[in-house]
Structure 1
C-alpha cells in the first residue's frame, strides 16, 4: 500500500458526502476481517493523482495520502490478472512505486505461496464506460500466504460492492459539488440583478450559470410589452450567434405554458416528447439543434408572478451528462431570478421613457416661456416708452386716469414677464448651478432695506433679529436675494396697515433658518396644499384683491430646493403666517473654493 514520504502529517480526509465515506470505511474494515488480511484501503482516482480515501489496519494519517498517477499506472502495467483483481509480485515492483510503498514489518514464510512484504494485490474499479475511478487493495494476509480460491471468491464479492459504493460516492460528491456551484451561481445572478439592463445582468452572471450546469452555452429571450422579443446568447469559446428566431414560433408558446406549470423541459433525441409539443415541432427542434451542434437543452421559462417574461435555454454537446432532476430544479430557481431581472428592466425602461417624456415637456415649457417672455418684452417696452412720452399734465383728468391705468397694467405685465423668466431660469436643468459663499445675514439686511418704502407706505414695522456676525451659506446670491424678497413682499402685501412683521435669522444644529412672521390674512388649510404650485392664487377673496402673478412662492420653492433646503409654512386663516426657510450652513474654512468677498457679493446684488 502506498504512503506519503512528506514530512507534513496527513489528517483525516474530508469528503463531500461524509455518510458515504463512512460506508466505505466499514467496507474496508469488513474486507480486512472477513477476507483474512491485516490491511485494506480504497483509493479514488483524481485528476493528477490517486487519493487514499479510507483505510483499515494502518496507522492514523495514512488516509489522505496522494500517489502520482504515473506511479500507479506503471505498477498496473506489471500486474497479473487474477479475475477482477490484479497481482504484482515483489520482484516486479517498479522503482517509481517504491518511494510510496508501505512495507509491512513481517518475515515471509518459507513456503512456495508465501506472501512477500512488497507483493501488491488490488482490484481496479471502473465505471460503466470503462474509465478507472478507483481501486480496492489489500495487504498482509493473516496466514502469510497468497490468497487461495476461497479467499479470492470473497475478495471478488467485496470488489463488486466496493465498485458500487465508489461510483455512488463519486456521483454523490459530484452532485453535492454541482449543488454548491448552483447555489453560488444563483447568488451571482441575484447580485447581478442590480444592473440597470438585462444585457448587463447576463454579462455579470452568464459564465457562472454556464459553468455550474456544465453547459456549452445558453441563450435567453425576453418578451417585451410591444410584442418585439430580444434574444441574447453566450457560448463557451465561440462568438457565433445561431439563428434562434427560426424556432421562436414553437418555443415562445411553450414558455408561456411551462411558466404556468412551473415546468423545465429536458429536450434531446432521447427525450423528444414534452408536454404541449406536437411531434412535427419536436422534429423541427431536433433538426435545428443538430444543425447548430447541440445534443441536448434544458428549456427554462422565465417570469415574475403570473406573467411569463421569456425563457432561458442551457445547451450541452454530445458526450456530456444527462440533465439531472437537481439541475432542473436549480434551473427553475435561476429562471425565477432572471424573470425578476426582465421585470426590473421593463420597469426601468418605463421609468426612463416617462422621465424622457417629462424632460421633453419641461424643456418645451421652458423654451415656450422664454420665447413668450422675450416676445412680450419688446411691445411692452414700446408701450411703456410711449406712455412716458405723454405730457400727462396737459391731459384732461379722465385721460390722466386712463394713462395711469395703462401704466399700472404695463407694470403688472413687466412683473409677470420677469417672474416667467426667473422661473424658466431656475427650472432649466441645462443651467449650471455653481454655488459660492454667501453671507445670508447681509442679503437679508439688503432685502429689508429695499422693502422699507413698501412697508412704510402701510405704516408697517419690520423687526429684524439677526446674529452680529456673518452667517454663511453656499449658493447663488442673486437667487437667495430673490427668494427672501418674495417672502418679505408677501408679508407686507397681505398684512394690514400698522402691522408688525418679524424677521429672524438663526443658526440651528448646523443649519441656517430664516423665519418671516406676519399678522396678515393667513392661509386656509385647503390653500396650503397648493401654495408652491405655479400660477396658484388663493381662494380667499381678501388675497385675490391683492395684485399678484401666483408665481412668487413657486419661485421661492424652486430656489430653496436648488440650495438643498426646504420651506415650512405655518398659518391659520385670519391669524397670520410664518414662513421658514432652512438651508445648510457653510463653514468657509472647510471649503476654500467657496471663499468669496462678501462686499463683492453684496455689491453685485445691489447693482
Structure 2
C-alpha cells in the first residue's frame, strides 16, 4: 500500500473513531478553503495599502488558470485554486469553480502556519479535518451552500485539502488547494494519485513563473544600466587621477610629498600618497583619520585651507589634544609643516589633500593657500567623478554576473522544460479523443492550448536569451533579405488565409543584400508578420514592402488592425510587456515578440520604428544597413 493510501486509511479511521459528523441543513453557509471574500479584513492583517502585483504579464496567469481548471475537472472537485507567497502574505492568484473576484485575496502567513501544523500528511498533500480547523482561517473563507453526506468517508464542508509548493531549497512558495469533491467523499487512492501528479505540475509551473517574473525584473534592470556601464568603462580611477597630477602638485608648491584621502559612499576612506625620493614607506594615516576627517568636512563648508605646524597648531575646530596628536604623528614621519586642503563638489566634502614640507621654512604663502583652495575644488570634482566611476564599475561587474546568470538560467529552464513538455503533448496526442465524453474532450483541448502556450513561451525565452547575450559570438554573412521575406510570407500564408486576410507583398525583382545572421533576420521578420496577422481582424488588409533607401534597406508591415494606444507604445520593446487594450489581451502572446525584434535589429546595426493609432492600425518598419551585390570569394 502506498504512503498516500496509508495516510488516507489512517484519516478514515480517525474519522470513524470520532463519530459521525454533524449534518448541515440546506441553506446553511459553511466555509471552503479555496479563497476569501473578506478582502478588507485580510488587508488589515497584512498591512494597509500593501499590494504585490500577481504577475508581470497575463500569460503566466493564463497558464496557471489552465492548470487549476484541469485539477477541478479531471480530479473530480468543484473548486481549485493556487495561492502563492507574495510579500508578507499568501495571495490567491488563480481559482476555478468559485465566484469572480477571488484572485488577489490575501491571507496572513500565520494563519496558514496554524493550518500546516494541524494537517495530516497524505503524500505531497496536506489534509486538515473539520474538527481541527482554526477559527481564524474561517475569516478568510468563501462560504458555499452545501449538504454533507453521511458516513465516515464523507467530505465535510470544513475539510481542507492542499499541496504545499516548495522550491529547490524546501521553502514553501505557495500551495495548490481543492475543495468540494463531486462525489461528496474523501479522495481514494486513485483520485489521490491524480492529485499528486497535478501537484507536481503545479510546483514546476509555479517555480518557472516565479523565476520568469524574477528574470523579467532582472532584465529590466540590466537594460536601464547598460548605457551607463558602457560610459563608465575606460574612465580613470582615483589612483590614475592622483598619478596624473601628483608630480605637478608637489613641484609647484615646493613640497616633499603629499597624500590624498577620498571618502566613499559607505562612510569609509581610501588613501593614496606620493613622496619625492626613494625608500618612501607610506605612514599609517589611519592613526589620525578621526581628527582630519572631521576637520575636512568643517573646512570644506568654510572653504578654509589650514597651514599647520608647531608654530601654527591653533586652528579653527581643532582641540589642543588633537593638535598634539597631529604634531606627534608628523614628527614621527619627518614632516615639519603641512597645507591641509579640503576637497569637495557642491555642498559635499569628498576628502582632503595634504601637501608636506620638511620644515616650516619657507612658510606657505597666501597665494599658495588660495591656489591650493582652487585646486581642491578641481580635485574634488575629479574625486567625485572617480567615485562615481568606481560605483558604476561595481554595477557593471554585478550586471555582467547577473546577465550571465540570467542567460544560463533561461537556457537551462528552456531546455529542461522542453523534454517534459514534449512528453505531455505526445501523450495528449495519443488520447482517443473520439472515445471521450464532451467534458473530457474540452479538458484535453484546454490542456493542448496550455501546452502550446508553454511551448511558445519557452521558444521565445530561448530566443530572447540568445539575441540579448552580449557574449554570444556574432559572425555576419551576406543575406538576401528579399529571399528571407518571401520565405516568411510563404510560412504565414496559412494563418492569413484562415482569417480571410489580404496580404499584398511589394518586393524588388533583384536580391536585396544585408549583412547578418539569416536565422535571426528570419525570426525578426516572422515576428512582425505574425503580429500584423494576429492583431488584424478577419478580412483585414496587410501591406508588406521591401525597399532600398540609399545605403539602407527598409522592410515595412502596415495593417489596419486594432492599433496600439499612445501610452502602450512607450513600452512596446520591453520584455513581457502586454498591451492594456482588452482586445489585444484576448489574443495569445508571450510579450517577447517585439523585444526580440528590437534586439535582433540592434545586433544588425539597425533600428525598429512603430507608428500606430488605437483602432486605426499599426505600421512597423525595420531599417538595416544595405550591402552592394558582390560575388562570393573563391574557395581556396
Matches within 5 A, 1:370-449: 370-393=411-434, 399-449=440-490
C-alpha distance in 1 between matches for 2:309 and 2:443: 94
Match of 1:236 among 276, 280, 300: 276
Correspondence 1:197 to 2:234: no
Gaps of 5+ in 1: 1-193, 598-607
The answer to whether the Cα contact below 8 Å between 2:337 and 2:360 also exists between their aligned partners in 1 is no
267, 270, 286: which one aligns with 2:327: 286
1:511-539, Cα deviation, whole Å (9 max, x unpaired): 21110011111112222222222222222
Structure 2 gap ranges (5+): 1-233
SS in 2 for 1:215: coil
User: Equivalent residue for 2:613?
Assistant: 572
Counterpart CA distance in 2 for 1:398 and 1:259 is 79
Deviations for 1:422-480, whole angstroms, at most 9, x for unmatched residues?
A: 11222223322222222211111111111112122222222111222222222221111
Deviates more, 1:412-421 or 1:209-218: 412-421
Task: Tell me the residue number matched to 1:326.
Answer: 367
Q: Please, what is the CA RMSD of the aligned residues?
A: 2.3
Determine if contact 2:536/2:560 at 8 Å carries over to the other structure: yes
CA-to-partner distance for each residue in 1:69-94, whole Å, 9 max, x for gaps? Answer: xxxxxxxxxxxxxxxxxxxxxxxxxx
In structure 2, C-alpha distance between the alignment counterparts of 1:475 and 1:309, rounded to whole Å: 48
Residue 353 in structure 1 maps to residue 389 in structure 2: no
Tell me which of 292, 295, 317 is aligned to 1:276. 317
Contact in 1 for aligned 2:604/2:624 (Cα 8 Å): yes
- Once the two structures are superposed, what CA deviation does each residue of 1:38-81 show, in whole Å capped at 9, x if it has no partner? xxxxxxxxxxxxxxxxxxxxxxxxxxxxxxxxxxxxxxxxxxxx
| Within-5 A mapping of 1:162-561 | 195-238=235-278, 239-318=280-359, 321-393=362-434, 399-561=440-602
Q: 1:324 to 1:413 in 2, by over 3 A?
A: same
Per-residue deviation at 1:389? 2.7
CA shift in 2, pair 1:452/1:216, >3 Å = same
Secondary structure at 2:310's aligned position in 1? Answer: coil
SS of 1:419's partner is: helix
Q: How far does residue 395 in structure 1 lie from its aligned partner after superposition?
A: 5.0
Instruction: After TM superposition, give the deviation of residue 330 of structure 1 in Å.
Output: 0.8
Matches of 1:318 and 1:587 in 2, distance apart?
Answer: 74
- Contact 1:438 1:596 survives alignment (8 Å): no
Contact conserved, 1:222 with 1:309, CA < 8 A, in 2? yes
Structure 1 CA distance for aligned equivalents of residues 358 and 438 of structure 2: 102
How far apart are 1:268 and its partner, in Å? 2.1
Q: Distance in 2 between matches of 1:540 and 1:285?
A: 70
SS at match of 1:473: strand
Which residue number in structure 2 is paired with residue 137 of structure 1? Answer: none
Structural mapping, 1:107-146, within 5 Å: none
Counterpart CA distance in 1 for 2:629 and 2:311 is 77
Q: 1:218 to 1:229 in 2, by over 3 A?
A: same
Q: Which stretch shows the higher mean deviation, 529-538 or 364-373?
A: 364-373
TM-score by length of 2: 0.59
CA displacement, residues 85-110 of structure 1 (integer Å, 9 cap, x when unaligned) = xxxxxxxxxxxxxxxxxxxxxxxxxx
- SS at structure 1 position matched to 2:315: coil
Q: Is the 8 A contact 2:235 2:389 kept in 1?
A: no
Whole-angstrom distance in 2 between the partners of 1:508 and 1:253:
65
Distance 1:253 1:542, change over 3 A: closer
- Provide the residue aligned with 2:216 in structure 1: none
- Determine if contact 1:569/1:577 at 8 Å carries over to the other structure: yes
The answer (yes or no) to whether the contact 1:195–1:201 under 8 Å persists in 2 is no
**Contact 1:437 1:596 (8 Å CA) reproduced:** no
In structure 1, distance between residues paired with 2:446 and 2:531? 23
| Distance in 2, Cα, partners of 1:332 & 1:500 | 72
Structure-2 change in CA distance of 1:339 and 1:391 (3 Å): same
Q: Answer yes or no: is 1:583 the counterpart of 2:611.
A: no
Asked if 1 retains the 8 angstrom alpha-carbon contact of 2:238 and 2:387, the reply is: no
SS in 2 for 1:354: helix
8 Å contact 1:289–1:295 — kept in the other structure? yes
In structure 2, distance between residues paired with 1:532 and 1:456: 28
Distance 2:588 2:616 in 1: 21
How many residue pairs get aligned? The number is 400
* Contact 1:217 1:236 (8 Å CA) reproduced: yes
Mapped to 2, the partners of 1:275 and 1:526 lie a distance apart of 58
Indicate the larger mover: 560-569 or 406-415.
406-415
In structure 2, C-alpha distance between the alignment counterparts of 1:408 and 1:489, rounded to whole Å: 18
SS, match of residue 579 in structure 1: strand
1:394, distance to aligned residue in structure 2 (A): 5.2
Query: Cα distance 1:485–1:596, how it changes in 2: closer, same or farther (>3 A)?
Result: farther
Matches of 2:360 and 2:464 in 1, distance apart? 71
More deviation in 502-511 or 214-223? 502-511
**Structure 1 match to 2:198:** none
> Quick one: structure 1 residues 445 and 428, their matched pair in 2 at CA, closer, same or farther if it must change by over 3 Å?
same
| SS of equivalent to 1:246 | helix
> Larger Rg: 1 or 2?
1
Measure the CA separation in 1 of the matches of 2:444 and 2:455: 16
For residue 507 of structure 1, report the CA deviation from its aligned partner: 1.8
Instruction: Pick closer, same or farther for the CA change 1:243–1:463 going to 2, 3 Å.
Output: same
For residues 479 and 308 of structure 1, the distance between their equivalents in structure 2, rounded to whole angstroms, comes to: 51
